[in-house]
Structure 1
Amino acid sequence: MKEVIRFFDCFAGIGGFYYGVQQIKSNKYEFRHVAYCEIDKSAQKFYDVACSSEGTQKIQDVKDIKTKKNPNGIMVSDFDILFAGFPCQSFSNVGYRKGFDDPRGQLFFYILDMLDYYKPKYFVLENVQKIHTIQNGSLLDEMKKALCEIGNGYILHTWNLLASDYGLPQKRNRIFFCGIRKDLTEPKGISEPPVVDLKTAKYPTTWHLLEKGAVDPKHYIPQGSRRTILTKPSNWEGDVNIDNAIARPLTATMAKWHRANQDNYFSEAYIAGTDPYVRPSVNLDTEPIRRITPLEGFRLQGFPDKYAEIAKNLKLAYSTQYKLIGNALPVNLAQAVIEHFLNSYL
């Protein structure tokens, strides 16, 4: 008989962890969705539709959850594993990497409070890779020490992974913290999840997932913004290349028309081409060039096409859709990490 693993999806977003576990097929265990927590109203609406959350406990704010420090809070339904992609703006380049000096970074302490009070068997946490550079790595060391010592103690595995190594054509780095209670097992030397050959993936490159037909004209770079977006200032490092076979990391502010060194833009010549690995010669002044569409953004994060339809039915503005997409956890990473971690111990 399979072990039922009840999961609490905290800082749930649009369901990167949720959809990741739906892809896992095991003879030893199966998942049951018991609760989720998400404060963003648009993400809540999306999650309610996309993640079949009817009958699942819904909590808006992690600060309202019952813990030793908050004895009058909301008691979470019994759960065996905590998933939490806790807000990363304070740890990212865009957030200037303030860490625990930023209130958003301090939400990590609420995770510790939940682990201390509920003592789940397992946890899988996720954040931006840049967290390891804050305070020369000392912040990450503090976090790891706290996770190992909280409650009765956890055996911790930490992996720094890249989405393009797990079936998604996107250079998106994420760090994962996977823990199992010390009283359940002996420590094991577990390497990171095995890499997936991108050439065998559903979308080996961005070209494979780009919409080849007509798209909303709003996705094309406004003529007055072209020079700013597509030209590299002389004092900048990096490149402003468009038509990248492997996408730059998606951002939550894609709707703002960032410079091409930060976001992803594609020419009609590339989209209509036949070789995803060759950038065509493009006249940057006249060639129609566009950003990715929401459908393409969902695909780059590993979500099914129905997600774009859900967003459309909810009448979400493009800026809202891009925010939800950019803040999401890549599904393929969630699946690879959870499956590898649990299979190593169960």
Structure 2
Amino acid sequence: MGELFSGPGGLGVGARLASNQHGEIVHQWATDYDEDTCRTYATNIVGDEDAESVVHADIRKLDYEELAKLGDIDGLSFGFPCNDFSLVGERKGFDGEFGPLYTYGIKALERFQPDWFLAENVGGIRADGGSTLRKIFADMVDVGYRIYPHYYKFEEYGVPQSRHRMIVVGIRKDLDVEYKVPSPDVFAQSDVTAGTALSGIPAWAANQEPTRQSQRVIDRLNHIPAGGNAWVADMPEHLRINTRTKLSSIYRRLSSDKPSYTVTGSGGGGTHIYHWSEPRALTNRERARLQTFPDTFVFKGNKESVRKQIGMAVPPKGAKVIFEAILNSFAGVDYPHVEPSLKKYMPQV
């Protein structure tokens, strides 16, 4: 597998976990624009922080022939940056700095012609009535792929976090392989509560540095119940936040008996994720637990860099489900499945 916009390795870990008697997905090459992210990926996925197969580069300047020298690929993954499609922000879409970056995934499909691909982005990409999705899907089909787009709610697939993402699996049209969206029913009995996810973290696990918090923040958190945020009615006057925009994520505390809300790369202005009973922000290791990274996974860089890496990643356990389905599809093995939920945005063939 080759990866563009690889992030710290959520898909890489998921691919490794998915490998079974029906097949194996192994790293061939990966690239990302962030140096710390590349170091994290190389350390954990390849086992060598300086691995040549992990290329630190701005994809807008990257020559794909350099990737080709690193080896042929059967699959391509690209979680193209979501900033301009997210519901949080200015929503510039294709006119923003990040919106056009999906085209580099399309160009890679043209150049490498892999048997399959996996593309990931935020659910908010649908918010313009679907025109963005229709354009992206049409481009994927035009370069030779049958596509299976679905809106995955990862808490329904064993991940202790309400993380909703648009994921497209594509199979090259000349191959007699049919991908099916895996059914979440298989995971109906999974314990996806934050309380369970954050229990028993070993002292040896890396990235457990606490966030420094002022007494004012601690006092504010002590007035917020589990599951609540800064806008509780009985917040003392001197602890209130005076702003017109009342985002629900501001000083929002987890509920121990429910999945976490979405882990993001942000952290300033009260947007850290906060513990349900202790008046503090979560550590990066706790955030990584909510993202289902193993405790042995070590993130490189300073605390803020690690926070961003964790927030941008695909949850490995969620990725595992999709990669298993891809392997089963190529092996001709049937499995419980559902209809792709984003079918209506696909071009009429």
Q: Same fold (TM over 0.5)?
A: yes
Query: Who is 1:119 aligned against?
Result: 113
RMSD across aligned C-alpha pairs, in angstroms?
2.8
| TM-score normalised by structure 1 residue count | 0.78
Instruction: Tell me whether 1:59 sits opposite 2:55 in the alignment.
Output: yes
Deviations 1:297-324 (A, max 9, x none): 11111111122xx23xx4x322111111
Q: Distance in 2 between matches of 1:14 and 1:317?
A: 14
The answer on 1:323 being equivalent to 2:308 is: yes
Q: Offset of 1:170 from its aligned partner?
A: 0.6
Contact in 2 for aligned 1:221/1:289 (Cα 8 Å):
no
Which residue of the partner structure matches residue 209 of structure 1?
197
Residues 91 and 99 of structure 1 are in contact (CA less than 8 Å); yes or no, is this contact kept in structure 2?
yes
Name the SS for the 2:18 alignment partner: coil
Match of 1:264 among 264, 273, 289: 273
Query: Is the alpha carbon distance of 1:164 and 1:196 closer, same or farther for their aligned partners in structure 2, counting shifts above 3 Å?
Result: farther
Do the aligned residues in 1 keep the contact of 2:146 with 2:173 (CA within 8 Å)?
Answer: yes
Stretches of structure 1 that go unaligned for 5 or more consecutive residues are 1-6, 271-287
2:152 maps to which of 149, 156, 161: 161
Contact 2:24–2:327, Cα closer than 8 Å, also in 1: no
Distance (whole Å) between structure 2 residues aligned to residue 116 and residue 217 of structure 1: 44
Give 3-state SS (helix, strand or coil) of 1:82's partner.
Answer: strand
Q: What stretches of structure 2 of length at least 5 have no aligned partner? A: 232-242, 332-349
Q: Which of 163, 167, 170 is the aligned partner of 1:176?
A: 167
Selected match of 1:293 from 279, 283, 300: 283
Of the three residues 144, 166, 189, the one matched with 2:137 is 144
* 1:5-154 mapped onto 2 (5 Å cutoff): 7-52=1-46, 54=48, 57-61=53-57, 62-66=59-63, 75-76=68-69, 77-133=71-127, 135-150=128-143, 153-154=144-145
Hey, what's the Cα distance between the residues in 2 that align with 1:237 and 1:257?
A: 11
Matches within 5 A, 1:265-284: 265-267=274-276, 270=277
Higher RCO structure, 1 or 2 (CA under 8 Å, sep 6+): 2
TM-score normalised by the chain length of structure 2: 0.77
Q: State, as a whole percentage, how many aligned pairs show the same letter.
A: 27
Deviation of the 1:342 alpha carbon: 3.3
Deviations 1:217-250 (A, max 9, x none): 9436422235499421787475865232321101
Partner of 2:340: none
User: Quick check: 1:302–1:331 contact (8 Å CA) kept in 2?
Assistant: yes
Rounded Cα–Cα distance in structure 2 between residues aligned with 1:19 and 1:141: 30
Partner of 1:276: none
Give the whole-Å Cα distance in 2 for the aligned partners of 1:318 and 1:128: 24
Distance 1:246 1:32, change over 3 A: closer
Distance verdict in 2 for CA 1:219–1:211, change over 3 Å: farther
Aligned residues: 302
Q: What is the CA distance between 1:25 and its match in structure 2?
A: 3.5
Instruction: Please give the alpha-carbon distance, in whole angstroms, between the structure 2 residues aligned to 1:207 and 1:140.
Output: 36
CA distance in 2 between counterparts of 1:95 and 1:156 reads 29
Per the alignment, in what secondary structure is the counterpart of residue 200 of structure 1?
coil
